[in-house]
Amino acid sequence: MEDQRLRVAITGIGFVTPLGCDLETVWSSLTQGRSGVGPITLFDASAFPTRIAAEVHGFDPGRFMDRKLARRVPRYCQLAVAAAIQALDDAGLDPSADPDEIGVIVSTAVGGQERVEANHEALLRHGVHAVSPLTVTTTTNSAAGLVALQCGCGGPNYAITSACASSAHGLGEAAEIVRRGDAGAMLAGGAEATITPLTIAAFCQLRAMSQRNDHPEQACRPFDLDRDGFVMAEGAVMMVLEDLDAARRRGARVRAVLTGFGASSDMYHLTAPRPDGRGAVRAMRRALAKAGVRPEEVDYVNAHATATRVGDVAEVRALKEVFGPHASILAVSSTKSMHGHLMGAAGAMEAACCVLAIERGVVPPTINLERPDPECDLDFVPNRARPAVVRTAISNSFGFGGHNACLVFEAADRKPVSGC
């Protein structure tokens, strides 16, 4: 029997990213293969081994909230509110009509890190009275609460934190909330602002980030033989998820449908992925099974691929295991090559890339792929976007701690498979 509850519509998307702060600018950057990576300007990184990142430029929080409030909340909260307002506007959805029917999940890996660092320094230099009481707003749930407050959303409200898989888990759980009828719509996604001295220093010590400081636009090189680590990024991406039938009744534009969500644990290491990709395999297979999609029906994969030596190869092995012979003709790209690694917001960013690839019939490229690693031998859509009919796409997100999440998106007019 067909399970119509599995069809949750994506009706709105909002972006505040290194590639732009609105949908059309972001999409243009993605299809043109433009890099958002440059020198770090948010603090003096001259003494750091890595001095590059993908920052959000030209962002004015005062366009989206009271300027006094903007000064009182962490940067990741500012970014989240801006993306949420854009997503609601894109969806044509007004929460004031029925606030309790719209919930919010804003996922993040870290939260208000820059405020934590600043107040810790104030404590050490000047004592307890120098610490702002608003330091309590740096917690990982603060953005979800602020978005609900600013947008008037009275439904389920919380954050999900699972490192770099956070917002993929958030989108998947938001869809489950809609499916079980606990909200008519969910505003869900992720926000992160971790280009800070302590965070960058920690990842430098881990030797996980690229040190291609002289050529930042070429630094993020997923699947390339010369890759030397990921590039830190900041930003927020939010989506509106609704019951498909309800969205159609109100005349909403349905960009795509989220039909499958799978999650798993590597049970392997605190920072490294399983080399054989078995945890990722389980997440992908669960997502496809829930969606009722056969592996050979998938047209595009937005890979987690961060440009680390071990991670990229592990994901390729997982893709080959899941897709078998179809893997050789499947379009796979890592858009992190352009926008960098948004950490807790990465899953939402890459899910949005899948939605737009389905809607607009273009697969974004993997840029900087000049010498493919022999162990990474799939079709990674190198360097140029590709027109393609994309009916089904999946987005992979894997986080430190072995957290894996996979989302399946389909064209709105694709019929669900009976019996799944």
Residues belonging to the active site: 164, 304, 341
H-helix segments, 99-239: 113-126, 142-151, 166-179, 197-206
CB 269 within 8 A of CB 50: no
Residue-by-residue DSSP string for 1-52: ---GGG-EEEEEEEEEBTTBSSHHHHHHHHHHT----EE--SS--TTSS--E
In sequence order, the 6+-apart residues with CB closer than 8 A to the CB of 180 are: 5
CB 257 within 8 A of CB 343: no
CB 76 within 8 A of CB 83: no
Beta pairing partners, 112: none
Cα–Cα distance measured from residue 235 to residue 18, given in angstroms and rounded to the nearest whole number: 7
3-class DSSP state of 233: strand
Helix, strand counts (H, E) of the chain: 12, 14
Structure tokens at 174: 């938001």
